């Protein structure tokens, strides 16, 4: 199945570390040509050197429309786009950090809209494409200390759903990936227990496998994801009591 990627060109935004970096290596190993974007050009260049071949490096700031557009102009014809860029800062309503909340909304959700605003019209013009947005299990409902993060990931999930409705299969494969906790510098900020904590490579395995199919929503790891889906069936009063 990995042969599906051979000869295909993917724009991976948020490729410099963590899940994005691991996924880039898996896609390259399956024969895909990668266009790598993130804010850190140095880390992108290091990854491109490790991948080799004709890997394209296109640094961008997902918060800046002009930066996204300029990066897109340097890319070859695309077969797919993956939006994996994201930021996280633990923030509660009691200790609202306006700058952190704005940054999470601007990168996790609006950044996805900026990137899709460049890539999707190009894919529509050519009549086909693979579109992947990395969301989060946090998007399933409100969580303590997740002001900004959960809301922005819920927005990204809705964005993926809307694209999926407008661009039906089989010409377009639109997918939403909802990971749980991944061991990165972002989750290192947490001071609470993180069930089913995954390494970036473990998380990339889930995404890579899901990308070989056509299922819209993939939430993982499965055992942890089931808890979120079950909680979504509870009445509001019980849900809020439990998550507190």
Pairing of strands 172-179, 9-13: unpaired
Joined together, the tokens standing for residue 108 give 């996790």
Cβ density class 142-170: b for 16+ within 10 Å, e for less: bbebbbbbbbbbbbbbebbeebbeebeee
**Strands in 64-209 per DSSP E:** 80-83, 129-134, 172-179
| Pairing assessment for the beta strands 56-57 and 80-83 based on DSSP bridges | unpaired
Tell me which residue has tokens 């395995």. 205
Catalytic residue among 10, 83, 88, 149: 149
**Helix 236-243, helix 222-231: angle, nearest 10:** 130
Residues 228, 230, 236, 239: is their CA dihedral positive or negative? negative
DSSP 234: S
Verify whether residue 10 is a known catalytic residue. no
The vertex-208 CA angle with 206 and 213, nearest 5°, equals 95
How far, in Å, CA of 181 to CA of 201, rounded?
A: 12
- DSSP classification of residue 4: G
Catalytic amino acids? 149
């Amino acid at each position: 199945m990995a042969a599906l990627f051979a000869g295909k060109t993917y724009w991976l935004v948020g490729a410099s570390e963590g899940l994005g970096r691991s996924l880039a290596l898996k896609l390259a190993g399956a024969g895909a040509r990668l266009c790598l974007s993130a804010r850190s050009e140095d880390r992108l260049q290091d990854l491109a050197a490790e991948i080799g071949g004709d890997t394209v490096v296109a640094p961008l700031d997902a918060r800046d429309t002009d930066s996204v557009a300029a990066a897109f102009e340097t890319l070859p014809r695309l077969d797919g786009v993956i939006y994996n860029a994201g930021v996280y800062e633990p923030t509660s309503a009691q200790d609202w950090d306006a700058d952190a909340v704005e940054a999470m909304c601007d990168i996790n959700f609006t950044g996805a809209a900026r990137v899709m605003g460049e890539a999707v019209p190009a894919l529509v013009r050519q009549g086909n494409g693979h579109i992947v947005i990395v969301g989060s299990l946090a998007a399933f409902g409100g969580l303590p200390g997740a002001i900004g993060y959960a809301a922005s990931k819920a927005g990204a999930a809705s964005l993926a759903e809307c694209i999926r409705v407008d661009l039906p299969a089989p010409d377009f494969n639109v997918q939403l990936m909802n990971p749980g906790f991944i061991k990165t510098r972002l989750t290192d900020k947490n001071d609470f227990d993180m069930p089913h904590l995954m390494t970036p490579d473990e998380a990339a395995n889930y995404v890579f496998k899901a990308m070989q199919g056509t299922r819209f929503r993939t939430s993982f790891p499965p055992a942890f994801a089931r808890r979120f889906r079950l909680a979504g069936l509870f009445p509001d009063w019980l849900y809020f009591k439990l998550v507190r």
